[in-house]
Structure 1
Amino acid sequence: MSNHAILSADDHRDLRVITDHSASLGDAVMSCFTIPAEFRRLQNEFVILFRRDARSRSFSALALLGFEAGENLYLDGTEWLAGYKPLALTIAPFLVGRAEQDDGDAQVHIDLDHPRISKSGGGVRIFDDHGEASPFFEQTVRQLGALDEGHRASSEFFATLERHDLLEPFALDVELRNGARHRMVGYHIINEDRLASLEGGALAELNASGHLLPIYMALASLENLTRLIESKNRQVGHG
């Protein structure tokens, strides 16, 4: 369950946030939401996939962290094994809310029931004794802003991908050395052949709009599938 509230120094001055890494703090997830503006940071270590919402039919991007629910192969106890942690995980327990309509002013919300909320006096303060934002919270606000801005801009990115027919369904059967199998379905990836066949004008348009770089970053990220499978093999004792 979640318990969202608009963050304020008056109501939440004494709250602290635990910034460690662990499954009990919410890091045990198979995938997490990401945005095109983040692809460059992700592509060296994570697989970037796309998924279409069954109800809205809109696309979103995700960073793949494992092959089954609750599995994060970049987490080893309390150690984060990658050099970067996706923004969607980093900003918890904070989130962006908007008053009334989607284009209203952004507000910082906090999930008061999130496991990162410290109930024992440990963790990092959000506000100082004078109600001013702590350095930790100032950094979090910048990250929230980047994630929110990237999310709001991503609809144009996905509309462009669909206009040029650059997304194709993706399924993968992962067979581990112990004989276990994991089937990944319901995802999309960039159609590399279709991208290569685009005329110069279309490529120039993609480049001018800033969409070409994240497209190539998403393609490059697929090389990390082999590394992720090897991580899974090591986890089950067949590394």
Structure 2
Amino acid sequence: MANLVAVDNQNHLTTRVDPDKSELHGAGLHLLPVVVSEFTQVGLQYPIVLTKKGDTGQFVFAAMLGFEAGENLFWQNESWQGVYLPLQIRRQPFFIEKVEKNAGSDTDTAGEEGDYIVCMDTSSPTICFDVSSGIGDDTGSGDSSEKGLPLFDETGHDSEYFLQVKECLSQLLSGELDNQRLLDHLQEMDLLQSMSLDITFENQQTRKVTGLYTIDQQKLAKLTDEQVLTLHKSGLFAPIYTFIASQGQIHTLIDLKNKQLA
């Protein structure tokens, strides 16, 4: 379970993080949320699909990494084999939290109410050293304080690595709005349809995958001129066709599964 704490340059001045270990957070994921701004990179290797959150029924764009829960076919030999590492993995172990003023809490230490703050999962394996809190692995040869990348310099200013983390988190935050804007148009124009996959692998093992959604290409081709103009002005045709084209990468997944079964 994640243990989130707000990051600041007093309590975490000595904290160091190993970004190479962020991949560990995706080892057991078969669906990984993605945002519109990374569709082009994601779609070159992973199928992009729509699924629904179990608790709210809200649609979520996701890269498909496997055919069943816990299966990431790109996780091999204890490392991520995909060329592009999606933002949701690259930002680990950091999260964005919105400051909310609760009774008895002091938001002055973390920001004003309504602000966004960067939090860190202190249980993440990416945290390799933290002198102040004892977080991380302090074993092995050499000076452990030199492991990983620092969040701050000696004067308390953000390190280059932490600035990159914040940019990644900012892209995810704005990406939520872009995703919702695209979804609103797709639903308003009744362009979504359910999809299921019936797959037979080379060893004759079969798999049926349900609970996924895609864009109805027949309805897309029959949009009115006004609807086409709306999508064009909104800059949504590119992500729509990237989304559709990416589903050809399901064959990449099948190939990886065949190799695994062999």
Query: TM-score under structure 1 normalisation?
Result: 0.92
- Which moves more between the two structures, 145-154 or 176-185? 176-185
Check conservation: 2:22, 2:89, Cα contact below 8 A: no
Q: Which ranges in structure 2 are unaligned for 5 or more consecutive residues?
A: 102-112, 129-135, 138-143
Give every structure 1 segment of 4 or more consecutive aligned residues whose post-TM-superposition deviation is greater than 4 Å. none
Q: What is the match of residue 124 of structure 2?
A: 114
Instruction: Find the counterpart in structure 2 of residue 221 from structure 1.
Output: 246
Aligned residues of 2:22 and 2:93 also touching (Cα < 8 A): no
Q: Which residue of the partner structure matches residue 27 of structure 1? A: 26
Match of 1:139 in 2: 164
Partner of 2:151: 126
State, as a whole percentage, how many aligned pairs show the same letter. Answer: 30
1:181, 1:223 → 2: CA distance?
19
Where in structure 2 are the equivalents of 1:118-197 lying within 5 Å? 118=128, 119-120=136-137, 121=144, 122-197=147-222
- Single out whichever of 109-118 and 89-98 deviates more from structure 2: 109-118
CA contact (8 A) 1:42 1:86 kept: yes
Q: Retained in 1: the 8 A contact 2:16–2:150?
A: yes
Indicate the larger mover: 76-85 or 214-223. 76-85
State the match for 2:62 in structure 1: 62
Matches of residues 36-115 of structure 1 in structure 2 within 5 Å?
36-100=36-100, 104-115=114-125
* TM score, norm. by length of structure 2: 0.84
Which moved further from structure 2: 138-147 or 29-38? 29-38
Cα shift at 1:80: 3.0
Q: Say if 1:167 and 1:191, in contact at 8 Å, map to a contact too.
A: yes
Aligned to 1:18: 18
**For 1:179, what is the secondary structure of its paired residue?**
coil
Q: Which amino acid aligns with 2:252?
A: R
Paired positions, count: 235
Which amino acid is 1:115 matched to?
P
SS of residue paired to 1:20: helix
Change (3 A) 1:104 1:189: same
Give the whole-Å Cα distance in 1 for the aligned partners of 2:191 and 2:53: 17
Return the alpha-carbon distance in structure 2 between the equivalents of residues 106 and 153 of structure 1.
Answer: 18
Question: 1:14 offset after TM fit, Å?
Answer: 1.5
State the shift of 1:92 in Å: 0.6
Q: Is the 8 A contact 1:33 1:88 kept in 2?
A: yes
Q: Deviations over 1:83-120 (max 9, x none)?
A: 2111001101001110128x921111111111212112
Q: CA deviation at 1:22?
A: 7.7
Pair 228,4 (structure 1): closer, same or farther in 2 beyond 3 Å: same
> Unpaired segments of 5 or more residues in structure 1?
none
Aligned equivalents of 2:13 and 2:173: distance in 1?
A: 24
- Give secondary structure in 2 for the equivalent of 1:203: helix
Contact 1:9-1:131 at 8 Å conserved across structures: yes
Q: Deviations over 1:19-67 (max 9, x none)?
A: 22587x2221112111122212211111000112344332110011111
Contact 2:22–2:91 (8 Å) recurs in 1: no
- The answer to whether the Cα contact below 8 Å between 1:21 and 1:27 also exists between their aligned partners in 2 is no
2:3 aligns to what? 3
